[in-house]
Amino acid sequence: MVEPAKTFGSSLAEGLDVQTTRMRPGFVVRFRRRRVALLAFWFLMVLFFVAVATFITSRLGIHIPFDPDAQNMSQRLSPPGWPHVLGTDQFGRDVFARILNASYISMFVGFLAVAIELALGVLVGAAAGYFGGWIDNVLMRLVDALLCIPSFLLILTLVAIVSPSIWVIIAAIGVLSWMELARLVRAEFLTLREMDYVAAARALGVPAWRIILSHLLPNSLAPVLVSAVLGVAGAILTEAGLSFLGFGVQPPQASWGNIITDGKTYLLDAWWLIIWPGVAILLTTMAFYLTGEGIREVLDPKEGKRI
Partner 1 sequence: MITYLVRRLAISIILLAIVSLLSFAIIRFAPGSKTAGGEEMSPKKLAAAEEARRAKYHLNDPWYSQYFLVMKDLFSNKLVDYNDRPVHEQIVDRLPWTMLLNAVSLVLVFGMGIPLGVAGARFRGGWRDTSSAVGAFFLLSLPGFFVSYMLCILLVKYIYVPILGVGTFGMQFSSWWQQALDTGWHLFAPALVLALPGVAVQSRYVRASLIESLSEDYIRTARAKGLSESVVYYKHALRNSLRPMVTFFGFLLAGMIAGSVIVETIFSYPGMGRLAYEALSKRNLPVLVAINFYSAVLVVMGNLLADMLYSVVDPRVRLE
50 versus 154: smaller Cβ distance to partner 1: 154
CA distance 192 to 198: 8
Residue from 183, 293, 296, 298 touching partner 1 (CB under 8 A): that is 293
85 versus 283: smaller Cβ distance to partner 1: 283
Binding segment toward partner 1, per CB under 8 A, in 25-33, 66-74, 177-185, 270-278: 270-278
45 versus 146: smaller Cβ distance to partner 1: 146
CA distance 307 to 304: 10
Shortest separation between residue 175's beta carbon and partner 1, angstroms: 9
Count of residues that interact with partner 1, criterion CB under 8 A: 50
Subset of residues 28 to 67 that bind partner 1, contact rule: CB under 8 A: 36
DSSP of the chain: ---HHHHS-HHHHHHHSS--SSS-TTHHHHHHH-HHHHHHHHHHHHHHHHHHHHHHHHHTT--SSS-TT---GGGTTPPS-SSSTT-B-TT--BHHHHHHHHHHHHHHHHHHHHHHHHHHHHHHHHHHHHH-HHHHHHHHHHHHHHHTS-HHHHHHHHHHHH---HHHHHHHHHHTS-HHHHHHHHHHHHHHTTSHHHHHHHHTT--HHHHIIIIIHHHTHHHHHHHHHHHHHHHHHHHHHHHHHTSSSPTTS--HHHHHHHHGGGTTT-THHHHHHHHHHHHHHHHHHHHHHHHHHHH-TT--S--
Subset of residues 103 to 162 that bind partner 1, contact rule: CB under 8 A: 141, 144-154, 156-158, 160-162
Binding segment toward partner 1, per CB under 8 A, in 56-64, 107-115, 190-198, 266-274: 266-274
Taking residues 230 to 259 in sequence order and writing x for each that binds partner 1 by CB under 8 A, - otherwise, the string is: ---x---x--xx--xxxx---------x--
82 versus 134: smaller Cβ distance to partner 1: 134
CA distance 47 to 171: 23
158 versus 198: smaller Cβ distance to partner 1: 158
Q: Does 278 bind partner 1 (CB under 8 A)?
A: yes
Binding segment toward partner 1, per CB under 8 A, in 59-67, 103-111, 218-226, 277-285: 277-285
Binding segment toward partner 1, per CB under 8 A, in 16-24, 96-104, 111-119, 261-269: 261-269
Residue from 60, 82, 163, 301 touching partner 1 (CB under 8 A): that is 163
173 versus 290: smaller Cβ distance to partner 1: 290
Residue 215's nearest CA partner among 120, 130, 295 is 130
Shortest separation between residue 267's beta carbon and partner 1, angstroms: 6
**256: CB partners within 8 A, 6+ apart:** 99, 102, 105, 106, 240, 243, 277, 278, 280, 281
Residues of this chain that interact with partner 1 (CB under 8 A) are 36, 141, 144-154, 156-158, 160-163, 233, 237, 240-241, 244-247, 257, 260, 264, 267-268, 271, 274-275, 277-278, 281-283, 285-286, 289-290, 293, 304-307
